[in-house]
Amino acid sequence: MLVFLDFEASSLSPNSYPIEVGWVFEDGRRESHLICPALGWHDWDAAAEAVHHIPRATLLRDGTPHDWVARRMVEVLAGHDLRASAPSWDGKWLGVLLHAAGLPRHALRLRGSDDACVEAAAAVLSHMISPEDLGAAAGDCVTLFELRERRGAPAHRALPDAEADLRRWQDVRAAAIEMAGRLRAC
């Protein structure tokens, strides 16, 4: 099952670490956790805090222990198709979290949510468009949807951003179904 996941982080530096994670399954199940920093996680950027509005003191006071969050993620997310809008950054923070908890860095793998949108459109259109034209048609469907919808900036909180990725995937799939209906009518 598809799961859209997002992290917020201490900064964008090489020493950054995850401070919040949220995920939402395509069936609507969702979870979010503030992450209490592991020992040795000291990197902090005030500019990043100005974006996500999560003070380090809040993490220390209200965050869930990093190792518990990592184990919970493996327990709930293993075997599912994990997607993130920034898979290289989110994958970095996932690896940092798993490593700090003593879990294998590749216990969970992320792929791009943009790819999930193209794949959803292609799945809908595959019965109506030749295989050689399918990739372009699916990409066009995503582009047309995005031009039509123009959404606002991300919330920069993990669960709302993961939920936005899910809605985008659902909306692109719906746009592909609409396109398929028009193709059938022709």
The pLDDT tens digits of the residues spanning 159-180 come to 988 998 898 888 888 888 887 7
Write down the mean pLDDT value for the chain: 88
Enclosing domain of residue 135:
113-185
Query: Where among 55, 88, 111 does a domain terminate?
Result: 111
Distance set, CA 185 to CA 124, 128, 130, 133, 182 (Å): 15, 11, 17, 19, 5
Question: What's the pLDDT score for residue 119?
Answer: 79
Question: What's the pLDDT score for residue 156?
Answer: 82
Question: What's the pLDDT score for residue 182?
Answer: 74
Query: Where among 63, 89, 111 does a domain terminate?
Result: 111
- Same domain assignment for residues 95 and 130: no
- Same domain assignment for residues 117 and 105: no
* Segment 35-76, tens digit of pLDDT: 999 999 999 999 999 999 999 999 999 999 999 999 999 999
- Same domain assignment for residues 79 and 117: no
pTM: 0.84
Question: Which of 25-39, 142-156, 162-176 shows the lowest mean pLDDT across its residues?
Answer: 142-156
Query: What does the alpha-carbon distance between residue 37 and residue 180 come to, in Å, rounded to a whole number?
Result: 48
Contact, 37 vs 93, CB < 8 A? no
- Same domain assignment for residues 122 and 159: yes
Beta-bridge partner residues of 33:
21
Question: What's the pLDDT score for residue 57?
Answer: 96
The stretch 139-155 carries a mean pLDDT of 65
